[in-house]
């Protein structure tokens, strides 16, 4: 496995790989790799000849006061996981390699970045879109693999790739969950044992929405009210949003129709947790 820390190194490796006629799949991550990331590596392996994983905790997508400094960075362990899962190259640059000067050029995906997490993390999706554009330009992959876990990130990246004619395919992979339903996340390690026991209520609230929609409920307000009732079982949860929006545009709905995204964000202690499901009303 090639371990590159500079842009020149990873570019040279990809150039050589492509010259040999091999396709390249790309999995961008912030490290602290877990089974969710591994599922993306496996999807990339199934579709492409070679797989590149990037490990970069991107400072421009964190606001002041968020967890940029304390975000886990177990690099040796991450490299071992990549090696074990047959990754061909890892790109793990330093912040100064990615941002050698004050950054003046930003990618902003209007509207799609604004609702849901956009309201609570100003600038977050601008940072995500900008770093993904940089990484796509550096790696030059045929396809990039993202998790449905971060549904708004997926919507932002898909729209950006379409609007800017970026020459790669975006592949979305299902959310990997713990046996009790909690979406696997690098941030779950911040939870205390008691919070970890309480956290599966988040997925139960999403399941409640799916049950209601399947039973024919169409009123968004009634569905979100029931979800809030489920979440109320854990008083320590501080809800940021419980939303049902159009799955592609992320626009608000009053009645469920077509493919909808049921998305929630909350804080449990000092940990911010997000989760979502997509329900296709026409096929339920």
Question: Which residues in this chain contact ligand AMP in the complex, by CB under 6 A?
Answer: 29-30, 36-37, 39-40, 146-147, 149-150, 173, 175-176, 183-186
Angle at 62 between CA 127 and CA 141, to 5 degrees: 40
- Positions marked active-site: 37
In the bound state, the residue with its beta carbon closest to ligand AMP is 147
Exposure string of 195-225, with b = 16+ CB inside 10 Å and e = fewer, is bbebbbbbbebbebbeebbeeeeeebeebbe
Q: Which is nearer to ligand AMP, 10 or 176 (CB)?
A: 176
Q: Which is nearer to ligand AMP, 91 or 256 (CB)?
A: 91
Locus of tokens 């999807």: 43
DSSP H helical segments within the chain, as ranges?
A: 7-19, 35-47, 75-84, 95-98, 117-120, 124-139, 151-163, 193-198, 201-214, 220-231
Q: Which is nearer to ligand AMP, 29 or 243 (CB)?
A: 29
> Please, what is the minimum distance in Å from the beta carbon of residue 176 to ligand AMP?
4
> Please, what is the minimum distance in Å from the beta carbon of residue 254 to ligand AMP?
29
> Please, what is the minimum distance in Å from the beta carbon of residue 26 to ligand AMP?
11
Q: Which is nearer to ligand AMP, 170 or 223 (CB)?
A: 170
Token pair listed for 214? 């399947």
> Please, what is the minimum distance in Å from the beta carbon of residue 55 to ligand AMP?
8
Locus of tokens 């047959």: 86
Q: Cα–Cα distance between 79 and 268 in angstroms, integer? A: 30
């Amino acid at each position: 496995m090639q371990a590159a820390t500079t842009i020149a190194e990873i570019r040279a490796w990809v150039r050589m790989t492509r010259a040999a006629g091999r396709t390249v799949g790309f999995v961008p991550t912030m490290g602290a790799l877990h089974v969710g990331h591994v599922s993306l590596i496996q999807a990339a392996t199934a579709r492409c000849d070679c797989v590149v994983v990037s490990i970069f905790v991107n400072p421009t997508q964190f606001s002041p006061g968020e967890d940029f400094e304390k975000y886990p960075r177990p690099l040796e362990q991450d490299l071992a996981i990549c090696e074990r899962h047959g990754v061909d190259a890892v790109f793990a640059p330093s912040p100064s390699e990615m941002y050698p000067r004050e950054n003046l050029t930003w990618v902003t995906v209007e509207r799609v970045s604004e609702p849901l997490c956009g309201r609570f993390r100003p600038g977050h999706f601008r940072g995500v879109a900008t770093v993904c554009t940089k990484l796509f330009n550096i790696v030059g992959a045929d396809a990039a693999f993202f998790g449905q876990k971060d549904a708004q990130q997926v919507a932002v990246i898909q729209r950006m790739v379409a609007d800017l004619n970026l020459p790669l395919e975006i592949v979305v992979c299902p959310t990997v969950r713990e046996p009790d339903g909690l979406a696997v996340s690098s941030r779950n390690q911040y939870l205390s044992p008691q919070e970890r026991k309480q956290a599966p209520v988040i997925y139960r609230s999403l399941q409640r929405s799916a049950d209601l929609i399947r039973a024919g409920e169409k009123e968004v307000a009634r569905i979100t009210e029931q979800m809030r009732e489920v979440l109320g079982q854990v008083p320590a949860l501080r809800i940021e949003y419980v939303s049902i929006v159009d799955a592609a545009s992320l626009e608000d709905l009053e009645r469920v129709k077509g493919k909808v995204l049921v998305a929630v964000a909350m804080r449990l202690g000092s940990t911010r947790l997000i989760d979502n499901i997509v329900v296709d009303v026409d096929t339920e």
